[in-house]
Amino acid sequence: MTSLFFIFRLTLATMVTYLLATVIVVENFLRHIVRNTEEFFVIVGMVLACAVITNAFSHVRRVRLIAGAVNSQTLSSRQRRQIEIPFEAGEAFDMIDAAIRELPGSEIAESARDSLQVQAPRLIPRRACRATACCPLSRRSRTRSWPPSPPTAKRAA
């Protein structure tokens, strides 16, 4: 019952938003240009509803696979993930901290071992990282060395 309510709520919210956007666009822009736009927007609304329902079913299925049960708490949070590691808390924290530090483009802001929290607010996308000279995969890092060597003076012979 929870999954059906989730799918209904998501579809209803999307369709109300679509209806309001369609009314605003038709009444302000298309009413004077094109007279019969109802059929087009009804078909687009049906396609949108089908896409939202499909996406919601897929999300419920993924939640059931990951969490093992579908309830309001597991459906409400898409970002919260719990990973169980068969190590002591300190050892597991060191492993997670090292793994996050080794991610390309990650910057660790705070790492508090006593509260078992690691905050990495900024991850540079891979394309942006390759454009900088700091990345070992960039073209600039292959042609330049860091720190730059001092310029050599050419001697006249």
Task: State whether 48 and 101 are in the same domain.
Answer: no
Task: State whether 52 and 101 are in the same domain.
Answer: no
**Global pTM exceeds 0.85:** no
Q: How many domains does the chain have?
A: 2
Q: Is residue 13 in a domain?
A: yes
Task: State whether 97 and 61 are in the same domain.
Answer: no
* HEC secondary structure over 12-36: HHHHHHHHHHHHHHHHHHHCCCCCC
Domain end marker among 51, 76, 101: 76
Interatomic CA distance for residues 116 and 21, integer angstroms = 45
The yes-or-no verdict on residue 47 having pLDDT over 60 is yes
91-101 confidence digits (pLDDT tens): 888 888 888 77
Task: State whether 50 and 93 are in the same domain.
Answer: no
The yes-or-no verdict on residue 41 having pLDDT over 80 is yes
Task: State whether 51 and 94 are in the same domain.
Answer: no
Q: Is residue 112 in a domain?
A: yes
Interatomic CA distance for residues 71 and 121, integer angstroms = 30
Interatomic CA distance for residues 99 and 110, integer angstroms = 14
82-129 confidence digits (pLDDT tens): 667 788 888 888 888 888 778 777 766 677 777 777 776 655 555 555
Host H or E run for residue 39? helix 38-67
**106 phi, psi to nearest 5 deg:** -90, 145
How confident is residue 2, by pLDDT bands cut at 50, 70 and 90?
Answer: confident
CB-based contacts of 64, cutoff 8 Å, min separation 6: 70
pLDDT for the residue numbered 77? 61
Domain end marker among 49, 76, 103: 76
Tokens (6 digits) for 108: 């660790």
pLDDT for the residue numbered 97? 82
Domain end marker among 53, 76, 99: 76
How confident is residue 143, by pLDDT bands cut at 50, 70 and 90?
Answer: very low
pLDDT for the residue numbered 110? 73
